[in-house]
Amino acid sequence: MKRLIITTLVMAFTVSWVQAQENIATLRGDTNLNQQATPPVMPKVDNEDIKRKRNYPMQPPTIPHKIDNYQVDLKSNKCLSCHSRKRTEESRAPMISVTHYMDRDGNFLADVSPRRYFCSQCHVIQTDAKPMVGNEFIDIDDLLNVEQDQ
């Protein structure tokens, strides 16, 4: 009797394990463990130099150029070599806005605030990768139009 119970349990477990295996989405996809999958092509970074629309007024604008090898560390900040107040005349880059000079109490500092030093905390490049999940974001202007039409 005891043996029968154990055998049944083992079988039930194996069946559910096999089923679970079939339904789980993994990064490997359906490639076997002992095989190497062909890696997907790396998406290309958009380097068109064209400013993109912001989805809402406070959105950090996305970066319209490549930032490969742009070092940002304690000693140097490559982004500021174009985007700081002193450099924009030569670089033709938009200046970091005044909020980048404010400390957390709203005081204006002489130079970029440490809170805004690591640019890629907020600003990101865009690639031509396809979105992995859907997005239902609606622009506030469209939302207001819908309300007015009603």
Contact residues: ligand HEC, CB under 6 A: 49, 51, 58, 60-61, 63-65, 67, 70, 77-83, 91-94, 96-97, 99-100, 112, 116-123
What's the min distance (Å) between Cβ of 83 and ligand HEC?
4
Judge contact between 95 and 84, C-beta under 8 A. Answer: yes
Shorter beta-carbon distance to ligand HEC: residue 8 or 120: 120
Give the residue with the Cβ less far from ligand HEC, 73 or 147: 73
63 exposure class (CB count in 10 Å sphere: 0-12, 13-18, 19+): buried
Say how many CA atoms lie within 13 Å of 94 toward its Cβ: 12
Beta carbon of residue 129, minimum distance to ligand HEC (angstroms, whole number): 19
| Least distance in angstroms from the C-beta of 76 to ligand HEC | 11
CA 108 to CA 127: how far, in whole Å? 34
Nearer to ligand HEC, 56 or 137 (CB): 56
Among 30, 28, 53, 25, CA closest to 39: 28
- By C-beta, is 23 or 107 nearer to ligand HEC? 107
